[in-house]
Amino acid sequence: MEIAPGAFHLGGRLSIDVQRAMVGQCRALMDGPVPAYVPIVRGGGKMHVRMLCLGRHWNGKTYQYEDTRTDFDGLAAPPLPDEFTVLAREIAAAVGMRLVPDLCILNYYDAEGRMGLHQDKDETERSIAAGVPVVSVSLGDTARFLFGGLRRREPVEARMLESGDAFVFGGPARLRYHGVSRIIPGTAPPGLDVIGRFNLTFRQYDL
């Protein structure tokens, strides 16, 4: 479903078997040798998610990408798994867009998790100017997703992103404001064995 020029909500994109496999991978990555952590951003505030960046690390203090986590423990960002790359490319292609992802921000939201309205604008100017899309995948509990305009004060639409849904925004929608206002506990599919929500956002840092 195209909800705005360049923005697509793909409900139920992932089968339950694919979701189950991805949840297992997300857990293993977040609790692995380079563990997820709660970032502290500019100004000293803590984010309301646990974050792990794959392929390239996003520094919450500088709002820049880097190879190592200089804002936390100095460890190198883990590689982006090939199967994640393939999935993101396929989702982008399904809505007529091209993405060659080289990084993924993997966030875990518990029942209190949320994400304020923001733009994804820390990739290179070339990538953003080309409208290369961001591909988002939801696993676990449903999230109340906010999708606004190109300016913070523009109207915001709320959509429910359920487990297995994908959301793509690129082209004219690439710099739209978006966020997560809340998580709906207990809404993950039966048998998925997950409490809370994993969200993966795939990006292409440069062309």
Q: Which domains does the chain show, CATH number per domain?
A: 2-203 (2.60.120.590)
What pLDDT, in 10s, does the model give residues 120-164?
A: 999 999 999 999 999 999 999 999 999 999 999 999 999 999 999
pLDDT at 199: 98
C-beta separation of 193 from 97 below 8 A: no
Amino acid at 197: R
Exposure string for 25-36, b = 16+ CB within 10 A, e = fewer: bbeebbeeebeb
pLDDT at 130: 97
pLDDT at 195: 96
pLDDT at 69: 98
- Which backbone phi and psi does 46 adopt, to 5 degrees? -95, 140
Read off the pLDDT of each residue in 60-81 and give the average, rounded to a whole number.
97
132 contact partners, CB below 8 Å, separation of at least 6:
97, 98, 99, 123, 170, 174, 203, 204, 207
Separation of alpha carbons 149 and 178, rounded Å: 8
Q: 197 falls in which pLDDT band (50, 70, 90)?
A: very high
- Which backbone phi and psi does 133 adopt, to 5 degrees? -75, 160
Helix %, strand %, coil % for the chain, to 5? 15, 35, 50
Read off the pLDDT of each residue in 30-37 and give the average, rounded to a whole number.
98
What pLDDT, in 10s, does the model give residues 2-32?
A: 999 999 999 999 999 999 999 999 999 999 9
pLDDT at 157: 97
What's the CA angle centered on 8, arms 189 and 158, to 5 degrees?
65
pLDDT at 140: 98
Coil, strand, or helix at residue 195? coil
